Amino acid sequence: MSDATQQQVKERGFLDRYFEITKRGSTIGTEVRGGLVTFVTMAYIVILNPIILSGKEDIAGNILDFGQVSAATALAAGVMTILFGIVSRLPFAFAAGLGINAFLAFSVVQEVTWPEAMAIVIINGLLIVLLAATGLRRMIFDAVPVQLKLAITVGIGFFIAFIGFVNSGFVDSTGQSSPPVGLGPSGVGFIATIPTVIFVVTLVLTGILVAKKVKGGILIGLVSGTLIAVIVEAIWKIGPKFADDGSLNPGGWSLTEPVLQGNPFAIPDLGLVGAVSFDFGKVGVVTVIMLVFTLLFTNFFDAMGTMTGLSREAQLADEKGNFPRIKSALVVEGVGAVVGGGTSSSSTTVFIESGAGIGEGARTGLANIVTGVVFLLAMFFTPLTQIVPTEVAAAALVIVGAMMMSQISNIDLGDFRVLLPVFLTAAVMPLSYSIANGIGAGFISWVLIHAFTGRAKQVHWLLWIVSLGFVIFFARGPIEALLGV
C-alpha cells in the first residue's frame, strides 16, 4: 500500500470515528451526496432572503443592498452549517429563517432602523444561548409529550411539502376568500405553465427512483430535472416570472432561471457584516421587549420543532424524541441568531430543507461540512447557484415531506385527548406557514383538553408555562395595542 493510500485510509478513519459515520449506517460518499442535495434544495435562500430584506425602508428611510444581503446570507449559512456539523455532528443545515426575515422587513423596521433590528436579532440569539446553556431549553424539550414530538415531525412533513407545492406553482392563491388556494397559477384549477410541468416530471421521476431505492435518487432527480429545465429554456426562452423592467410573465420561472447569465464568478460584497447598532434611544423599552419576545418565541420553537422532526427522519432520535448532543445543538442554534444578526442577514437557524439531504441518506455532521463549504463557494459563484430552478428543487421538498409524514404511524390516535392536539399541530403548521404556530396550537390544546378531562396531573408544569407563553404570543397584537406599543 502506497504512502498516499495509507494516509487516505487514516483520514477516513478519523472522519468515521469523529462523525460516527459507520455507526449511524452511512458512508462518506452518502454524506457528501446528502450534503449536496441539501444545498441544492436550500440554494434559493441566497436569492429569496435579499428579495425579502433589501429594498424595504426602515423607520429612517434606509434600505439594505441586494448584493450585500445575498453575500451575507451565503456567508452566515456556510459558517453556521459548518459550525453545527463540527460541534453537534448532525446533518442539520443552517440559513436565514423564513418568517423571521419577513417579520423584520415588514414589522420590526417600522419601529427601528436596520442596524437596530439586527441588534434585536442578536439579543434574541444571546437569550436562546443562555436558555440552552442553563439547560432550560432542554427541560422544555423534555417536557413535551412524545406524541406531540411525533406530531411536529408529521406537521413539518406537510409544511415542507406545501412549501414545495407553492414554490412550484402547483398550488397558488386564488385571491379570493373561498377557496383561498387552488391548483395552478392563481388557483385556476389546472396546470398552465411549463415550469410547473417540469416540477411534476421531476417529482414523478424522483419518486420512482426513491421507491426503487436507487442510491442518490433525490440527487439524480434534481440533476435530471435541472437538465430538462435548461434544455427547455434554451429552446422556448420562457424567461423569469418577474422581468427586470417590473413586468409580469405568468408562465415564467419563479425565483431562479435555468440559464447562466454573465460571468459565473463574482467577488462578494460583505459590507453589511458588523452593521449593527444597540442604540435604542428613539424607541421605548416596551417596544424593544415585545419585538425581542416575538422573535424569541418564533426562533425558539421553530428551531426546536425542526430539529425534532429532522432527528426523527434521520432515525437518530430515541423513543422520547431525544437525539445525540442535543444540548450543544440547542446552544449552537442560538449562536446562529447572533451570527445572522451580526451579518445583517436575519436570524440564521436550522432549515427544514435539510430533510432532503437526510432523505438522500445523510446521517452525520459531515454532510453539513459539504453543504457549508458549497454555501461559502456560492458567495463567489452566485450565478451558478441560480441555475437550479425553484420548481425543480420543490420536487425534492414534496418527496421529503411524504417521507416525514410516515411518522404518523407511530402515534396511537385512539384517544381523542391525543388526536386533537396532534391534528392541530400537523394542520396549523402548513395552513399558517409557521412551525411555531403549529407547536403553539398543539401545546395549548394538549394542556386544556387534559386539564378539563381529569388528566391535569399528567401535564408537565413547564408545558403549562410554555402554553401560557404561547397564549401571549398569539395575542401579542391586542397586548401591544393595550400597552400603546
- Sequence ranges of the domains in the chain: 13-403, 411-475
**The pLDDT value given to residue 287:** 79
> H or E segment at 295?
helix 285-313
pLDDT exceeds 90 at position 484: no
DSSP 333-364: HHHHHHHHHHTTS--EEE-TTHHHHHHTT--S
**Residues 27-52, mean pLDDT to the nearest whole number:** 90
**Residues 405-412, mean pLDDT to the nearest whole number:** 88
Amino acid letter, residue 418: V
Among 321, 324, 294, 320, residue whose Cα is nearest residue 305: 321
Cβ neighbour number for residue 27 with a 10 Å cutoff: 16
| 3-state SS class at 256 | coil
**Residues 261-269, mean pLDDT to the nearest whole number:** 79
pLDDT digits (tens, 9 = 90+) for 184-214: 988 888 888 999 999 999 999 999 999 998 8
CB-CB contact of 300 with 55 (8 Å): no
**The pLDDT value given to residue 271:** 94
Amino acid letter, residue 259: V
pLDDT exceeds 70 at position 12: no
pLDDT exceeds 70 at position 61: yes
pLDDT digits (tens, 9 = 90+) for 347-374: 999 998 899 999 999 999 999 999 999 9
Among 90, 18, 68, residue whose Cα is nearest residue 312: 90
**The pLDDT value given to residue 480:** 73
**The pLDDT value given to residue 163:** 87
Sign of CA dihedral 459, 127, 101, 391: negative
> How many Å apart are CA 112 and CA 123, to the nearest integer?
14
pLDDT exceeds 80 at position 1: no
**Residues 30-49, mean pLDDT to the nearest whole number:** 91
**Residues 35-58, mean pLDDT to the nearest whole number:** 87
- The DSSP output letter for 111 is T
pLDDT exceeds 80 at position 262: no
**Residues 112-138, mean pLDDT to the nearest whole number:** 94
Cβ neighbour number for residue 8 with a 10 Å cutoff: 12
Q: Which is more confidently placed, 323 or 186?
A: 323
CB-CB contact of 390 with 42 (8 Å): no
**Residues 304-312, mean pLDDT to the nearest whole number:** 90
> How many Å apart are CA 259 and CA 352, to the nearest integer?
27
Instruction: Identify the band that residue 10 occupies on the pLDDT scale cut at 50, 70 and 90.
Output: low
Among 242, 267, 273, residue whose Cα is nearest residue 383: 267
Percent of the chain with pLDDT over 90: 56
Q: Please, is 325 exposed, middle or buried when counting C-beta atoms within 10 Å of its C-beta (0-12, 13-18, 19+)?
A: middle
**Residues 270-276, mean pLDDT to the nearest whole number:** 95
Q: How open is the CA angle 411-412-415, to the nearest 5 degrees?
A: 130
What CA dihedral angle connects 202, 206, 208 and 214, to 10 degrees?
A: 150
Among 416, 311, 419, 373, residue whose Cα is nearest residue 35: 373
pLDDT digits (tens, 9 = 90+) for 87-113: 999 999 999 987 788 889 877 898 899
CA distances to 37, 140, 156, 186, 226 from 47, rounded to whole Å, are 18, 35, 23, 23, 17
pLDDT exceeds 70 at position 66: yes
Using the structure block, give the residue that is written with the C-alpha cell 463574482: 266
Chain mean pLDDT for the chain: 89
How does 283-321 read in b/e, with b if 16+ C-beta sit within 10 Å?
beeebbebbebbbbbbbbbbbbbbbbbbbbbbebbeeeb
What CA dihedral angle connects 140, 145, 146 and 149, to 10 degrees?
A: -60
pTM value?
A: 0.80
